[in-house]
Structure 1
Amino acid sequence: MGGVALTAAGSSGITTRAAVPLLETGTMDWLSPVSGFVGTVVGAGVSYFATRQAQANTVADARQARLQAKQDQAVTALAAAFGALHQHARHVPNDRERWTGNEEAAALRATCDTWNEQLQNHIAPARIAIGVIRDSHLRHRLDEAMKLLETWNSGLENAFHGRDRVWLLRGIIAHAVDCVGAWQREEPLPEPNHAFARARDSLATKEDEWEAEAEAREEERQRRAAAPGD
């Protein structure tokens, strides 16, 4: 690299010479393409991350759309199932009357079995739709409503006492409908109506009785197993 000799007089009068290098024009020539390359890389990186973010947003939006579509389908299925259950409850058998003949008792049992089978057929699609609901509080309440309906002929014995069966079963279904409506409006779930609360208490009492009976049977089984000579 070339230079220009400069002369300067020091305090001693001695003249010194120093070579000061000059930047050659070629130096700037190679810096320009390097700067351009760095800018291209940075720009490409920004573009890449922006594209990835846009893709991520698109995927998230698509997932949210699918989830919302499933929720809408579940609500539609529940509306159909609840409507069918509401109509079916009108024909619930009344076995409170005491039949004296064996044929009459057998006919009543057959009627109850047929009605119960149809009830389970209506509950099945409702159960599937309930499983899709993402809100855990709503899902739990609807599951409870279906359980009350499923155990109508055993768990709701106390609730039926002195009450119209149609009123009780339709009240359970009505509360389930009210819960779905509140959820769609983004409101808190309503408190159980009188029919739902009565059915819930009845089932809880019967479950305690069933548990006590099961424990008694198990204790009896263990006693017999431990008895000598048995």
Structure 2
Amino acid sequence: MIFDLPRCMPDLSDNAAMDSTWGAALIALAGVFVGGGISLFGIMWQQRRNEEAANTNRRTSQREASLDSIKQVLFAILRHGESVPNQRTSASEHLAWELTLKEHLTRVEMDALRLDAPELRAVLREMSLLLNDWYELAPMAWPHEVVNAATRHAIECVGAGLRGEPLPPQGPEIQRLYEARAVRDDYERTAEEETRRAER
């Protein structure tokens, strides 16, 4: 019996062509997925960079706005210091002047909360504390000296912050205010101890 070989043997050329077609299709599909993944990753990465840049710009704008507001209030305090009360000032005028000063200091403290520079916040806090003691440091530091020195140092520090420069060191005027406050604190502490001993 003679077999018809062409009819019995499978057509290998058709299978090879089919495998080649499937292989090409799979490669193309893989390329689509890889390309799509890379494209999606690129979009997400760019979106994240845009969000970070927007957040940075927003923080910078808020910081500059806060510093500008603080600077304006400090100049207002400096002008307010030109009419600092003295011994001839009435009690009502003295109280009104101090209330205005405290309103200015409250604005400075509120604006300082939005600053991201801890050193500058600390300086503004210290100068505010000195200004709160404006009439308690005499005779080592008279009221107009306290207001003028503390406010000017705060203005210098805010200016450095706006320019992105290091904060200026404390001058002898500020050191004098600290010394006056230390003397005041020692005096109050001694007075309290004497009062307690007298009450025993």
TM-score (norm 1): 0.72
1:33 positional shift? 0.7
What is the aligned length?
188
Larger displacement relative to structure 2 (75-84 or 32-41): 75-84
Q: CA RMSD in A?
A: 2.6
| 1:157 is aligned to 2:141 | no
Partner Cα separation in structure 2 for residue 158 and residue 58 of structure 1: 57
Partner Cα separation in structure 2 for residue 73 and residue 216 of structure 1: 50
1:39 positional shift? 0.6
1:168 positional shift? 3.4
CA contact (8 A) 2:70 2:112 kept: yes
Q: Which residue, out of 198, 203, 207, partners 2:176?
A: 198
SS at match of 1:89: helix
| 1:110 is aligned to 2:92 | yes
Identify if the C-alpha distance between structure 1 residues 36 and 66 changes in structure 2 by more than 3 Å, giving closer, same or farther: same
CA contact (8 A) 1:169 1:195 kept: no
What amino acid is the match of 2:70?
Answer: L
Partner Cα separation in structure 1 for residue 194 and residue 45 of structure 2: 64
Runs of 4 or more consecutive aligned structure 1 residues displaced over 6 Å after TM superposition: none
Note the 1:61-210 alignment, pairs <5 A.
Answer: 61-95=53-87, 108-154=90-136, 156-160=137-141, 163=142, 165-210=143-188
Identity of aligned residues (%): 22
Q: Which runs of 5+ in 2 are unaligned?
A: 6-11
Identify if the C-alpha distance between structure 1 residues 39 and 146 changes in structure 2 by more than 3 Å, giving closer, same or farther: same
Partner Cα separation in structure 2 for residue 210 and residue 127 of structure 1: 27
Identify if the C-alpha distance between structure 1 residues 72 and 30 changes in structure 2 by more than 3 Å, giving closer, same or farther: same
1:213 positional shift? 5.5
Q: Which runs of 5+ in 1 are unaligned?
A: 5-20, 98-106, 225-230
CA contact (8 A) 1:171 1:193 kept: no
TM-score (norm 2): 0.82
Q: Which has the higher contact order (CA 8 A, sep 6+)?
A: 2
What amino acid is the match of 2:95?
Answer: D
Identify if the C-alpha distance between structure 1 residues 212 and 38 changes in structure 2 by more than 3 Å, giving closer, same or farther: farther
More helix by share: 2
Q: Deviations over 1:184-203 (max 9, x none)?
A: 23322111123222112222
